[in-house]
Chains A and B, each alone.
Chain A
Amino acid sequence: MAADGRGGDQAVSARAAEAAPDGALLVVRDLHAGYGGQEVLRGITLCVRPGEVVCVIGPNGAGKSTLLKTIFGFLRATRGAITFDGVSLLGRRPPEILRSGITYVPQGISTLPNLSVDDNLRLAAYVRRDRQVRDDIERLLDAFPALRARRRLRARTLSGGERRILEVARVLLLDPRLVLLDEPTIGLSGAAVEFIYEKIGEFRRRGLAVLLVEQNARTALRHSQRAYVLEQGRVRFEGGGEEILQHPEVRRAYLGGRA
């Protein structure tokens, strides 16, 4: 269960595409990245398959958010490989990565506070050039009645939970193949957390791949097929969601004891 490189593969970057584990959509190999001279990711290897929710947990500063930022091109990798459907993402900028089929919901509030809910949704489809956007927004508002009632209001007037719902709803407008969620339930109440995970479950049933980072580890693990435990920029454990949830060492270190 302890993670290591798969069989001493040294030429990882060159061979990442062909060496992708059985049908993985996103493959991260020996990824190093950081801020300035400070290395935060110190050789992360993981993968996400279509129709799979994979969660990354770990203590503060383990590199969870940095991992998502690096995958989405906000940070430059200093070493290693990231491939999406066999194509390298290294050196690409966020708008290009978005167009290739990945959406990213950053940590904290990423809605646009002084624009209406409607405008937030329209801008979520900013990279789309087709004429279906309006219809798709209407269908989306049917699925999220709380947003329909507030569509003309500025996003800043929404509650924290409503803004998070808006962020998750935006994902659907781009019909992505991979969703990166950074702490989707931070600061939310129980009902809102359930709603967000219900939607994440729907993403999975549509065949999307979801990579999510959570501080709220127990709930996240219960809703994930697989999980990675990060510590100081390395993968410490990996396994099935339930498996990790029951693992004595993980329980002791990250889930608040009662092993």
Chain B
Amino acid sequence: MNLLLTAVVQGLIMGLVYALVSLGLGLIWGVVDVVNFAHAEYMMWAMYATYFAVAGFHLDLLAALPIVVALGFLAGVCTYAVLIRRIMSAPAVTQIFTTFGLLFFLRYSAFAAFGPDFRGITWPPAGGSVLILGVPIGAAQVDAALAALITFGLLHAFLQWTKTGKALQATAQNPAAALALGIEVERMYMLAWGLSIATAAVGGAFLLTFYQVSPTVGDAFLLLMFASVVLGGFGSVLGPLLGGVVIGLVESVAGNLVSPTFKLALVFGALLLVLFLRPGGLLGQERRG
């Protein structure tokens, strides 16, 4: 029982981190209808940016965070304006190869720039561990989970309570109808890309406090991101949140109680089971009405 509680608490915390790094993937998928295979690479670049800000410029993580997030937003906007805009009406295969190409471009330019070494930072507030329901959890993971909750809360509030947020939802649901209402759909797509990469940057920055960065760090995350988004379902920010938490829980419980060898098999088994029962994901909504 104690083992189960430990697994659940650890899974919940890691699940929130997965949710945070997946959020942007779901946002672009839902609003722009493009699958960004390079999402984890943006997170990797944000980890490097954080590393150099903290280790190179001796900034505190919280001081570096706004810079890294702003750079992420800018990178997302530029990616849309320079690349994605041109393939919006292209066949799905073209879009897939484009973002796949972007994945390799971002990864190997990181190799070229930083080499294959692993790098990490120490952030004093993330040292040691805290007790949650009597279970000791690394403070770094807890901080990252808190950052996830804050990011989700802010994005949810933006989407639900601001006019621009509603316009972003309208664009996701019916781009032609949004255009007929005078919504600048292109600008909404650009905003979605900016927000998406900005949230990946928040995730990358906090991840760096307990996970070292190298150019291939995305490998460990890309599939989990996809699983979180697909499992949670599209249409709201709550989908990736729930999806990430479920993935984290299954991974942790399976890894601790069954066998670490099988944990990913069980994660994707759970994903297939959910899709079998609910093809639209747990919180799936009607799209493109």
Contacts and interface: CB of A to CB of B under 8 A. Distances in A.
Interface of A: 72, 74, 94-95, 98-99, 103-106, 109-115, 119, 122-124, 126-127, 156, 170
A115 B170 contact: yes
- The interface centre, meaning the residue of B163, B174, B235 with most chain A CB atoms within 10 A of its CB, is B174
A152 B180 CA distance: 23
Contact of A115 (B163, B173, B176): B173
Contacts, number: 69
Interface string B148-182: 00000000000000010011011001101111111
B183 A126 contact: yes
Interface of B: 163, 166-167, 169-170, 173-174, 176-184, 235, 285-286, 289
Contacts of B181: 98, 123-124, 126-127, 170
A114 B173 contact: yes
Nearest to B176: A106
30 contacts: A74-B176, A74-B179, A94-B182, A95-B184, A98-B180, A98-B182, A99-B182, A103-B180, A105-B180, A106-B177, A110-B176, A110-B177, A110-B180, A111-B177, A112-B169, A112-B170, A112-B173, A113-B173, A113-B289, A114-B169, A114-B286, A114-B289, A115-B170, A119-B166, A123-B167, A124-B181, A126-B163, A126-B167, A126-B181, A170-B181
Name B's interface SS: helix
Contacts of A106: 176-177, 180
Nearest to B171: A112
Given A94-B179, A106-B180, 18 more contacts: A95-B182, A98-B180, A110-B174, A110-B177, A110-B180, A112-B173, A113-B174, A114-B169, A114-B286, A114-B289, A119-B166, A122-B163, A123-B163, A123-B170, A124-B181, A126-B163, A126-B181, A126-B183
Given A112-B174, A113-B289, A156-B286, A94 B180 contact: yes
Nearest to A94: B179
A124 B178 CA distance: 9
Contacts of B184: 95
A156 B180 CA distance: 19
